[in-house]
Every structure is written in structure tokens, then in C-alpha cells.
Amino acid sequence: MRIASVGRALPPHYYDQDTLLAALRRRWSDRYFNPDRLERLHRNALVGGRHLALPIEEYDQLTTWGRANDAWIRVAQEVGGEAVLAALLRAGLAPGDVDALFFVTVTGIATPSIDARLINRLGLSPRVKRVPIFGLGCVAGAAGIARAADYVRAFPDQVAVLLSVELCSLTLQAEDLSIPNLIASGLFGDGAAAVVVVGAERAECAEAGPRIVATRSVFYPGSERVMGWDISESGFQIVLSADVPRVARDFLPGDVDAFLADHGLTRADIASWVCHPGGPKVLEAMQEGLALPAGALDVTWDSLRRIGNLSSTSVLLILEDTLEKHRPPPGSYGMLLAMGPGFCSELVLLEW
């Protein structure tokens, strides 16, 4: 099993953090009387700017969840299709070569789902197997790679594509002035990424990217309120506990060590870390808990600063950055990981 390629698609509407902060201040000026706190929360996110699904002036028109979700359906098809085609082009494959399409998101809903809508749009085979997955949140990029790997392990002559689309800006709750929502308003951005995963018998993609050695899912019982959504008539209201960094620091090292030990490895054998950028405190907790060397998470930090946290899409963009600009030495091992609602983690062991 091998990752053949990664493709990305970011909406064209990019705004620096100062512009976004000013827009939120205007929106909340008549209700929120502590603008200094809003600015402090945004600055602490260490995000320089973000892509938005829509031009910034159009967000005031999203007065209902239905309008926001309609925008999500439209833009998700646009950026999702672009990401899939980019990934297939890099792998030297055509849309008709795709045997299975896994689609992950947590920022919108549609039936038929986005993967179904892309069949006609991209010219995918009418026999493609579709697996839409909703609700895994930030962990879904890593989990999606793991599920695609499960598929091509069973069908080694086939091609699976994972598509992640997250349009977090369309979930913003304008009436929610809670600290979690204020943090989210300064942290999350929009975009899509696709990963082509091929079975062992697809010789034409044999040298493209890292081999998927193994995967592991870990669930933490009794942690449902650490992260997620409360869903109401206004849409998705964020649940974001201050415990996320603690969970990462306390549990991730033991989970990683146990996973690696099953394959005769230790953390010292890992040459590259492809980690989801949950936020500055989460990254610091990962760095500390895993005792990673200086610079191990530089690619992740850089992605957070440039475009923010894109939920499940982010770890796939960091994987692309690693493939294109920071490829580890051949034969070295890498770890791709993410954490998300459940609360849970997903670990993917790679060999470059």
C-alpha cells in the first residue's frame, strides 16, 4: 500500500488575520464589549491569514443554517473536484481509474453527498465505490488515509482516493460569544485536499510516495465533550474543551510508543512527523509529550501560520508539503497523526 500523491485546492478568497479580526469586530460591535479579548485570542492562535469559502462581504447574507449549508454544497464541489483532479494528475491517473472514493467532512451535510455529486462533475466511473464519512472532525484526514489503506489491502490492484473538504468559516455562529467560538473564529480556515492511495499491485505508482506500513485507531472513553459540535436550528456550535492539550500530552506518547513497539520501532526511528495543527497549545503539548527534537514540527507550524487549522484537511496539506519540499531519506520511517472528536487519535506509520 502506498500514498501515490496529494492534491490541494484552496478557495481564492484569502485574508490576513488583521482583516478578519476587523470584520468580526464590526459584526459583534453592538453585542460584544471586550474587543481586546477577541484580539488577544486571535493573536494567540498564531495564524497569519486564512482562505474563506466566500468573499468576506457575503457572510452577512448567511442568515440561516440553510443558506450557509447551500454555500457549503456549492463550494465543496468546486474545491473538492479541483483537489481530486490535482491528486490524480500528480499520480498519472485519470478519473476513470478510481475504484473507491472516501469523502470526509465535518462542516456541512448533503444528500446525495459530495462524493456522489463529483461522479458526474469529474467523470468518475459509475461503478466507483463511495464511502462518505461525517463527524470525525480533525482526525478524519489521518483516519481517511487509514480506511483507504484498509481498502487497497483487500484489493491490491485498485486505486482509492480520499477527499477531505472543510469549509469551517461557514459554520461560524454569529450569535455565540463563548470563548470556544471566539477561538474558533481566529483559528479555522477553509480548503480541500485529496490523497491517492494505491494497492501493492499498482506498479506504475510504486515509487511515488511513502509506503503505508500500518495504522492504528485509539479511542479515549468518557471524553465526548472534549471536542465536537452541539447541533441546533442555527447549525454547528463548537464544543472545544481546554483539556485538548492535556489529553495530547498525557495519552499520545504512550499510544505512539505502543504502536511503534508492535513494529520493532521507537520514537528515535521516526525521521518525519506529519501532525495535524490543532493550535499552538496542542502543538506545544505534542512536542513536549513526545519529546520531539527541535524542528520536528516545523512543517506543521508553518502551515498553521500561513492558512490556519483546516480540520481534517490540514494534516493532508502538511503531508503534501512534506512530499514536495521536505521529503525524508528513502527507507526512513515517518509518523502521520491527528486527534479529534470522540475523543480519539489516529496513527499512520509510513516508510519513505
Could you confirm whether 344 is annotated as catalytic?
Answer: no
Q: What is the 3-state secondary structure (H, E, C) of the chain?
A: CEEEEEEEECCCEEEEHHHHHHHHHHHHCCCCCCHHHHHHHHHHCCCCEEEECCCHHHHHHCCCHHHHHHHHHHHHHHHHHHHHHHHHHHHCCCHHHCCEEEEEECCCCCCCCHHHHHHHHHCCCCCCEEEEEECCHHHHHHHHHHHHHHHHHHCCCCEEEEEEEEEHHHHCCCCCCCHHHHHHHHHECEEEEEEEEECCCCHHHCCCCCEEEEEEEEECCCCCCCEEEEEECCEEEEEECCCHHHHHHHHHHHHHHHHHHCCCCCHHHEEEEEECCCCHHHHHHHHHHHCCCCCCCHHHHHHHHHHCECCHHHHHHHHHHHHHHCCCCCCCEEEEEEEECCCEEEEEEEEC
Catalytic choice (138, 168, 205, 275)? 138
Q: Which residues have a catalytic role annotated?
A: 138
